[in-house]
Structure 1
Amino acid sequence: MLRRLRDDRGVSRERLAFNAGVSASYISHLEKGDRDHPTREVVDALVRYLDRIEPLSQVERRHLLDLAGLGASEFPPVDRLRQEISGEMQRALELHEPHLAAYIDTRWNVLACNDSYARAFPGLVEDVNILRWFLGNEKSTDVMVEWESEVRTTVRWLRGLIGSTGDTAWSSEFLDELGRYEMFRELWDEGVAAYGRERPHMHLRDVATGRCRSIAVQLFKVFSAVNPDQIQIFLGLPSWCADSAHAADIPA
């Protein structure tokens, strides 16, 4: 891959090595695959120089990092992820009306949503993060019929997420924020991690009418060459729970 990018730009090993601050023999070893993975600093230096001659595509950048064993290990800020929500992706959310649909990142930040989603979770768009909404917005307890269970599931999912990445800078700051809430501290101290929902059904209450409904929650990863595995689409579809006894016990 590195040799192809170099050849496409008419750059010699010596020239690339000089501008990246490494030796020509090191470049040769990398291209032959007989050297351990390079550091991110080396790869960034190589990419910067090649990019100056002719810009690399986002796919080429990602592939080069993946081959170097340096796949995405940092969580991009919300604003950067929102830039990836194209007009076509936004229209896809609107096509799901009247069902709930939203793009969220793996840290439970809402990046974009349709009107049905915003109405179902009043205040969430402004709060941005689902856990922040759960713990800091009183409306969440009115909306979520099984509020404590949903909070517990999301906290456990957060613990699993933090354990699966090497980027802990964002998590330290976020945990400090959530740690102000006693409920979060109690659930966090349980020390349990999760990687999904035990049950697909989520029970919601309409704060205007008091009516309750069940939705089947579905999450799908959205392909992104720029920020792989960071964006998901949330779909909340009508659910007719097979456990009718449980459904009948949902308080109105």
Structure 2
Amino acid sequence: MSRKSTEASPGDLLRPPTFGGLLRRFRDDRRVSREKLAFAAGVSSSYITHLEGGDRAHPTKAVVEALIGYLHRVAPLSDAERRHLFDLAGLSEASAPTVAQLRAEITEDMRSGLEVHEPNAAGYLDTRWNVLSCNAAYAAAFPGLVEDVNILRWFFGNEMSKRVMVDWEREAALTVDWLRGLIGQSGGGDWSTELLAELGRYPEFRRMWASGGTAYGRESPQMRLRDIETGEHFSLDVQLFRVDSGSHPGRIQFFLGIRTPQPAPPSIARRAAVSGSHGARSPVNP
């Protein structure tokens, strides 16, 4: 596709992108007249002129969808180009995508890449803490979570979480406070009402929710866990990265937990030492 309409000479003053400028570029590249685009979108040609001139910088979602639909039929727009138009129009997704829709964003290459991080826990989560895809180390570190799908559901509805999380109270409260911050960022919606109705069945969740705390991240990257099969204590140094998806920007995050061994609590260490001394055989008196 031609990019002549965006070329600038060295002496030109560079300006930030605008909705009208990008719309005109897409229209010019497709050799579509203002009148034809206006007719297809159900608006007047003068309205298109005002949009492109910057006199009306915030068209409605219905208008933007109509403009994109026609331009896309003439010559396909990429996901990034569609998103850019919506971003410049000041429009965001009206509703949260489903888990199935977000899982469809995880490509085979992304899934295969999770295995590279073994034995560290790696996975893709959405911002509502639903597990979209993970490696074996992640599933082993948080037994039952893949089946429960949602981390909050796992914390409060699965007793396994208390056996795994050494600092269960602190980690659960942090996740509850993080949920409150997320609802504020996203403007809530049906998903938050439904999730709160489900979690409200758990007294411990209601207690933590009533505290009114809000968080937007971890104060410490370290998460302490216990292997329920071996009893081994270990920690995950947690890192979270936002994945920039073309279809659902800002909705997916990448979780990486770097595993490091941790000494057992003193009480457990003492019991192990006593048990070992009782079972030892003297080299003098076999």
Q: Which has the higher contact order (CA 8 A, sep 6+)?
A: 1
Q: Which amino acid aligns with 1:18?
A: F
Residue 217, structure 1, aligned to residue 259, structure 2: no
Residue 3, structure 1, aligned to residue 3, structure 2: no
Aligned residues: percent identity? 60
Tell me if structure 1 keeps the 8 A contact 2:125–2:132: yes
Give the 3 Å change call, closer, same or farther, for CA 250–117 of structure 1 in structure 2: farther
Residues 56-87 of structure 1: per-residue CA shift (max 9 Å, x gap): 11011010001101144542111111111112
For residues 188 and 71 of structure 2, what CA distance do their matches in structure 1 show?
Answer: 27
Structure showing greater radius of gyration is 2
What residue is the counterpart of 1:157 in the other structure?
178
What residue is the counterpart of 1:201 in the other structure?
222
What residue is the counterpart of 1:174 in the other structure?
195
Residues 181-223 of structure 1: per-residue CA shift (max 9 Å, x gap): 1111111111111000122111111111122111111111122
What residue is the counterpart of 1:21 in the other structure?
42
For residues 102 and 149 of structure 2, what CA distance do their matches in structure 1 show?
Answer: 13
The 5-angstrom pairing of residues 53-202 of structure 1 reads 53-72=74-93, 74-202=95-223
Alpha-carbon RMSD across the aligned residues, in angstroms, is 1.9
For residues 201 and 90 of structure 1, what CA distance do their matches in structure 2 show?
Answer: 25
Q: Which amino acid aligns with 1:152?
A: A
1:172 positional shift: 1.1
Paired positions, count: 248
What residue is the counterpart of 2:252 in the other structure?
231
Tell me if structure 1 keeps the 8 A contact 2:167–2:224: yes
1:12 positional shift: 1.4
Tell me if structure 1 keeps the 8 A contact 2:121–2:259: no
Runs of 4+ in structure 1 deviating by more than 3 angstroms, as ranges, are 71-74, 247-252
For residues 42 and 186 of structure 1, what CA distance do their matches in structure 2 show?
Answer: 45
For residues 232 and 163 of structure 1, what CA distance do their matches in structure 2 show?
Answer: 18
1:160 positional shift: 0.3
Q: Which amino acid aligns with 1:50?
A: L
Tell me if structure 1 keeps the 8 A contact 2:126–2:251: yes
Residues 76-112 of structure 1: per-residue CA shift (max 9 Å, x gap): 1111111111121112110000111111111101110
Give the 3 Å change call, closer, same or farther, for CA 132–58 of structure 1 in structure 2: same
Give the 3 Å change call, closer, same or farther, for CA 104–132 of structure 1 in structure 2: same
Give the secondary structure class of the aligned counterpart of 1:158: helix
Q: Which amino acid aligns with 2:237?
A: A
- Unaligned 5+ runs, structure 2: 1-21, 270-286
1:23 positional shift: 1.3
Tell me if structure 2 keeps the 8 A contact 1:5–1:50: yes
For normalisation by structure 2, the TM-score amounts to 0.82
Give the secondary structure class of the aligned counterpart of 1:163: helix
Residues 18-77 of structure 1: per-residue CA shift (max 9 Å, x gap): 221211111111111111411111111111222222221101101000110114454211
Residues 137-159 of structure 1: per-residue CA shift (max 9 Å, x gap): 11111111111111100010010
Q: Which amino acid aligns with 1:153?
A: L
